[in-house]
Structure 1
Amino acid sequence: MTNSKMSLWSLVSDMPPGRFSDLFEEFPHDLRCFLGDWLEAQPWEFISNISDSFCAVLAARLLSAMVEMLHDLANKNGSPGPILQLTANLENRYRREPLKLVEAVKRILREERAAIQEKFQHVPLFVHRQREELMFEFNLQRLQYRVQEIQALQERLEMNNSNTRVSLQLKMLDPQFPMQEKLHTSSLQNLQTLFLNTISELEEAKKAVLARLMIWKRQQQLAGNGTPFDEDLSPLQKRFERLVDICFQLRLQLVASGAELQSSLQERLDSVANALIKNSFLVDKQPPQVLKTQTKFQATVRFLLGPQLLKHPHTSFMVTADIVTEKQARELATSSSGGVFCESSGEIVNNTAPLETNATSNACCALFKSMLLKKIKRCDRKSTESVTEEKCAVLFSATVCLGPNKINFHLQALSLPIVVIVHGNQDNNAKATILWDNAFAAANRIPFVVAERVSWDDMCETLNQKFMAEVQTTKGLLKEHYFFLAQKIFGDSGASPEEFQKRPVSWSQFNKEILPGRGFTFWQWFEGVLDLTKKYLKEYWSDRLIIGFISKQYVFSCLSTAPVGTFLLRFSDSEIGGISIAYVTCFQDGSTQVENIQPFTAKQLSMRSLADCVLDLLQLQILYPDRPKHEAFKRHCNAEAPRKSNYVPAKLKITVDLPSTFPAQSIQPQVDSMSNPNMNLGMHSDPPYDPSLMITPPRHMSPSGNTVYGSPQLQSEVTYSYSLGNASPLGQMDPYPMPPDVDMSDICMQNENTPMYATDLHMLPNQIVMPEMISPPSDEELALLLHSEQDLNRYSQDPA
């Protein structure tokens, strides 16, 4: 319903006809159907003042346009008779009183909006946008009509002046000739009143266009958090151009009116023009909001009124970029003089660009293609603030000469807040500062003041939008996700979702306070999940294979009564950037238990995909609640054919550690790589599911979440060939050289928080694998060996 191409008619046409049966006595329902979207695209709502001549003129124009449109439809229709009859009835009824037609259409559109609101519980966004556009268009047409009225009245005054001069001459010849002074005085008063009303309407139109510009800027800032944003400035540019054009027309009429009116109205008219000119200079493409020193960046500044005011040929005006602190930005915003900025708080290389108009796009821009922040002067901070909480901005400025009198205008545009960092480890906290500022900044604020506390609902909306934008998915967070996130950020597992909705969340809770029992803040943990998901888990999340943001208690409630082998995927709440698998296992005595596999991080998922990991683990059979894992993950498994190489192929495989005290029959048998053709594709075909085989370590999880993790291992299924002619059992054997693209330091990690990986050597027919240990021969055996090659095999492991 947010599509700008939608209309009320497209929504109400599906409703039962009886819903609006009492609305079409004065305006037939068939006409509503014929006119469709066109009817609601006209400013009926704003035609209200019967005494205003403009409203009467506009109503007559709309009636004429409606009749013309219906005639066109009749000509295109194979049976034009019914349409022409309706058109004739419409003309006969409203030709003399077009304002009554306006009232009839307004009632229909009002009831349609009410029906849509009742159906969807709110008025669609496109309705609000369309209404705002129609209101501006109506006000603009009224201003143009006022200018024509002023011009007509000016002409009558000039005619009256001529008549007055003639009558004065006749009066001198004939004292009895009547004078026209009263008529002249009355016309002059009417002209002054008309000027005052028109300038007042112009000031209101200026406020409307500046408000629309402020909305655009706010949407641009929210886009920094991932909110969809229509960045096209062409509609706004047209509004600025049309208002400035009316300003110039009024100024000409004011000058023509004489000195009697100029002194009282000129200042107000100049104020409107100056505000439009200065506000039309803005940052079109923002610089990065997290800006690292010694790194190149780009930005674009646009002058909306440039194509209209800087006519070719003109002097090439230069725009300059300077870095300013929050204090300097505040001083510039609150300064009434609008003085020229003269002190930069850093050094930007390549900080000038010409202001040029593109003939194709009709956009006047300055493009900064390769700026670089060489250094920054830090300002004084509060004792509790870190360097990543310090905000600054880029100030773009230019001086242009406008008009035949070459009047100088100093133009300034401030970028969105920027956090300057000098090292990559500051990036995470800098992003938190920008995310908070973008989400919760108020319109027209003092730079860069932002609320310290916000509602939890607003925070949820921000996190959801950021998640969808970063992961590039249309599947957002769900209610149960928000509940878990609230428990985490507030450190409270006892409150209800309704209670969390009433709580405000502070900046400190978001990214200053360390979470209980952890070594990181809420944002650091959440951003770790974002990074992991967008790099390795996007498709799984979009297919809803990952439940994600849930607590261990929620996992237990889901799996405690589920069949053996049922599993689900959740983001680790104890590790940054980890995803864990919880599953139901069965012990030899028939009891079941929920186990949590140690989280997989980006390091493991970069070596083996999540789908392949899930398919590797034979303990996992059913994705919660009831989806077979092969059906759920088959399209995500690694199906790439092996690349040609001089090396013997090796493949990584995930297993879960089992204690050595378990009987051999309790461990799942592995599938022979030669008997399973899918092994070459990184896929595994699990044997038929048998609960008796789902034996795992007796490590228990209680509802409180105390879990001992099973440790996944990454195994390498490798085939190595040796030649006896190149190896002697008497001397020291050189280790078999590993392929250069296999780094064993990355594979064999011995850390309690990281899965351990092992390497298994699997034999193929007619291949000999050297033993792990060879006993040294005695002196007697050595003598025999030197004279006989027959007994060499005594000291090699029998492959059988």
Structure 2
Amino acid sequence: MSQWSSLLKLTGVHQDQVLGLYSHDLLPMEVRQYLAPWIESQDWKQGAKDCSLANVQFQNLLEHLDTQYSRFTQEQDMLQKHNLRRFKLTIQNQYQAKPQKLAELIRDVLRHEKQILLQAQEAQNQPGAPAPASMEVGEHWEIEQRVKEVKEKMQLLEQEVKFLEDQQETFHFKYNNFQVIVTARVNASDELLKTKRTELQEQLNELDKKRKEVLDQVKMLLGLCETLVVFLQKELNDWHIRQKLFCIGAPTNTCLTKLESWVTRSVEVLFQLRRLLLLLAELPLSISYELDPLKTDPPILEKRLLEMLCCLLKISFVVDKQPIMAYPCRRPLVLKTSTQFSVGARLLVNLPKLKNSMKVSYSIDKDPPNMKGYRGFNVLGPQPKALEDFQGQGLMVEYKHLTLKDKRIGPGGKGGKGANDGALSVLEELHIITFTTQFDYQGLKLDLEAATLPFVVISNISQFVGAWASVLWFNLLSSDPKDLTFFSKTPDAPWLLLADALSWQFSFTTKRGLNSDQLNMLEKKLCGTTPRQDSSVPWSKFAKENMPRLTFTFWTWFDATLNLVKQHLEDIWNDGHVMGFLSRSKEESLLDTKMEGTFLLRFSESIAEGGITFSWVEYQENGSPKICSVHPYTKRELSFIPLTEIIRNYQLLVQENIPENPLKYLYPNIPKDQAFGQYYEHRIEMTLEYQKYLKRKLIMVSERQDDAQDSIGPGTPQHNEVDVNSLIENLYMDQSTDQPTSQELDRYMMNADSDPMMSFTDAGIYAECFGDLQ
């Protein structure tokens, strides 16, 4: 299948990339379509270097355009004729005198096409992983090509060395024969000996030339390998950065399959080259001469190769699974003492002979910082363990049941840190686990080491939220993955960077991140009401100091809100029905021009445990809008009644205590039942046993609190909060009343069994309605 045919089969984001590639007029898509076979058959890479070839390609392109133009003329396709003629005139004006530029253009377009196809192939092989950026795919394509190139050069070099061996054996055989003739001088004239000696000299010259050619090829291959190792180093560094960000929720690809393939193939080439150098170093033992290059060059080249090989092997041992507890909180890099956690390491050199032969050991805080009060820990668990090939996924070792135990030595033990003793808090103290193993292959022995990212150790689960803030801050801002003193000089976070991290917390926990409006509201909380483009956030303001006029920090409130969404609001959050982070002033500006009954959902700014409220607009007799908000619901209320049921059955007492539901349209104008109908609880038919009772349902009821209503002028929105902390009983005698759900019955029976005198006001449940037993 041609490259163009494969591109036409792409869908989704990859199809968009193809369209973006041809969004300019440099090479119209219709030209690429009609001339696809010819375009793909040309060596545009060489044409960009060779002016004469580029000129031939340019003239051939014009001829193909003329041929296609004739076809459109016969088909009377005026539009295509016009487009083709315009393209021909354009390239004649721009590239007639410099056809190499056109060759470069087409070469680059074809290269970008290959990058898109490679990206699509990787996405297909890893359906759960996000598609990497086009630049990343371009680099991957470049590495893949270089790996293939050194592999091919290695095969050619092996053939050349084999030819050199044969050539040396031939010379050796003729030289021995000549020695026999010289010694015996049987039927050999001086002229014949002179001729034989001349032939041997010529063959020796050829042998010397071949040895130098082989060594030149070795040097060239070493140069290619050095460049490849630099590429692999950069890719591994990028992978470490991606892993750091992935640990705090970034949607990035941390798959090691490609990297393992590149590293393994590169190491194989280097070991092959090492064997050839050892072989070349042995050839002078049979035949040597003055200024023989094989007596001086191979040791130098082997030393250069070993440096490169050791560098690649050392960076190929990585921690691919960062420390994480199985429960109660599934976030990495926060560990609790006496609670099991897992961690894993991986060797990216996947050679069969290494399987089960390399033992891995671990230690914690190998080089602890010289800091006052720094705690010491022991890691309890099995060791050492061997690297194994887990289901063909690579050479890995995983420890699943490790635990940390506090050494409790001196004042640095648990509870030994004072508030003003100069030591870091427990939540700012970082620790590292280091894995060690020995690589032993084909006579090369090398100690390898890999370290985890710094993690925080807590002794109580209540410290988890603060510890996660430390992990987020470190992974976002630290440039040194082993800097255990990071929080002794904590840097500020640029808002643009921190905004991404806050959005990742939502996109990783749910399916929806934060939009620009939501982030703007959070920016004003952290950076002031008039943030600048280069605004930054201090660590203390983010997680240590209480927000103005409140008794909790920004991070405490943000994380609690995130947990509220995950536990009780995830479906409607993913649907985009929760406006979420929204200030009251912004809320008023959005609602005061909408239809009466329009409402929106936003998070409370004043509840530490996280809360959500709905606000709606209604119009007074004088035509002025009034914004009403219900007292926020927390996880306490939402554990009993889903927010969608609260919205569905919410009642507001109006004149003469007649209840009505003021919520009609979800902002901007979506009918309430259309937005939330799919989440309403389904009613069940009553059994004969339950029909002995009057029917009931759970609803939320608020009493209106109108203060100074008459003082509001026309057109001025009023923000009025209604109270939900009042209990009101309604008896539903009408048999057509909605049936209770099975969930409502179960909740009520469970609560009644546990506490017959339960107050539904205290539990956050309002209007629990009963009738007398029939």
Distance 1:582 1:452 in 2: 39
The match for 2:674 is 631
Map 1:117-128; keep pairs closer than 5 Å. 125=132, 127-128=134-135
Letter aligned with residue 532 of structure 2:
F
Map 1:236-315; keep pairs closer than 5 Å. 236-258=259-281, 259-288=295-324, 289-310=333-354, 315=357
- How far 1:600 sits from its partner (Å)? 0.7
Question: Which of 497, 503, 508 is matched with 2:540 structurally?
Answer: 508
The match for 1:614 is 647
Distance 1:412 1:329 in 2: 22
2:319–2:344 contact (8 Å) kept in structure 1: yes
Identity of aligned residues (%): 22
Distance 1:643 1:742 in 2: 25
1:428 aligns with 2:436: no
Distance 1:699 1:553 in 2: 20
SS at match of 2:549: coil
Q: How large is the RMSD of aligned CA atoms in angstroms?
A: 4.6
- How far 1:535 sits from its partner (Å)? 0.9
Distance 2:252 2:459 in 1: 30
- How far 1:274 sits from its partner (Å)? 1.9
1:711 aligns with 2:754: no
- How far 1:604 sits from its partner (Å)? 0.7
Distance change (3 Å), C-alpha of 1:308 and 1:323: same
Question: Which of 226, 244, 260 is matched with 2:249 structurally?
Answer: 226
Distance change (3 Å), C-alpha of 1:371 and 1:364: same
- How far 1:457 sits from its partner (Å)? 1.5
- How far 1:503 sits from its partner (Å)? 1.2
Residues 82-126 of structure 1: CA deviation (Å, up to 9, x unaligned): xxxxxxxxxxxxxxxxxxx99987532524789999xxxxxx955
Distance change (3 Å), C-alpha of 1:713 and 1:625: farther
Question: Which of 536, 550, 562 is matched with 1:530 structurally?
Answer: 562
The match for 1:364 is 395
2:22–2:29 contact (8 Å) kept in structure 1: no
Q: Unmatched 5+ residue regions in structure 1? A: 52-100, 118-123, 331-342, 663-694, 721-735, 750-754, 768-800
- How far 1:574 sits from its partner (Å)? 1.3
1:283–1:301 contact (8 Å) kept in structure 2: yes
SS at match of 1:477: coil
Distance 1:327 1:762 in 2: 66
- How far 1:145 sits from its partner (Å)? 3.7
Distance change (3 Å), C-alpha of 1:435 and 1:709: farther
Distance change (3 Å), C-alpha of 1:761 and 1:186: closer
- How far 1:642 sits from its partner (Å)? 8.2
Distance 1:144 1:428 in 2: 50
Map 1:355-754; keep pairs closer than 5 Å. 355-358=386-389, 360-361=391-392, 363-375=394-406, 383=422, 385-403=424-442, 405=443, 408-442=445-479, 446=483, 449=486, 452-470=491-509, 472-473=510-511, 475-490=512-527, 492-493=528-529, 495=530, 499-576=531-608, 577-586=610-619, 592-615=625-648, 616-617=650-651, 618-639=661-682, 641=684, 651-658=697-704, 710-713=723-726, 739-741=752-754, 747-749=760-762
Distance change (3 Å), C-alpha of 1:105 and 1:7: farther
Distance 2:154 2:12 in 1: 33
Map 1:155-174; keep pairs closer than 5 Å. 155=162, 157-158=164-165, 159-160=167-168, 162-163=170-171, 166=174, 169=178, 174=193
SS at match of 2:700: strand
SS at match of 1:748: helix
Q: How many residues align?
A: 626
1:281–1:412 contact (8 Å) kept in structure 2: yes
Residues 312-348 of structure 1: CA deviation (Å, up to 9, x unaligned): xx65x43223322774699xxxxxxxxxxxx994222
The match for 1:683 is none
- How far 1:373 sits from its partner (Å)? 1.6
Letter aligned with residue 354 of structure 1:
K
SS at match of 1:547: coil
Greater share of helix: 2
1:718–1:761 contact (8 Å) kept in structure 2: yes
With 128-137 and 204-213 compared, the bigger mean Cα shift is at 128-137
The match for 1:78 is none
With 579-588 and 265-274 compared, the bigger mean Cα shift is at 579-588
The match for 2:736 is none
Distance 2:194 2:254 in 1: 71
Question: Which of 21, 29, 32 is matched with 2:36 structurally?
Answer: 32
1:206 aligns with 2:229: yes
Distance 1:148 1:628 in 2: 70
2:49–2:100 contact (8 Å) kept in structure 1: no
Distance 1:324 1:461 in 2: 31
Q: Unmatched 5+ residue regions in structure 2? A: 1-6, 52-98, 116-130, 183-189, 282-294, 325-332, 652-660, 734-748
Distance 1:383 1:535 in 2: 39
TM-score calculated relative to the size of structure 1: 0.67
Distance change (3 Å), C-alpha of 1:351 and 1:217: farther
TM-score calculated relative to the size of structure 2: 0.70
With 212-221 and 8-17 compared, the bigger mean Cα shift is at 8-17
The match for 1:138 is 145
Distance 1:709 1:606 in 2: 21
Distance 1:524 1:279 in 2: 38
SS at match of 1:11: helix
2:628–2:719 contact (8 Å) kept in structure 1: no
SS at match of 2:629: strand
Distance 1:391 1:642 in 2: 58
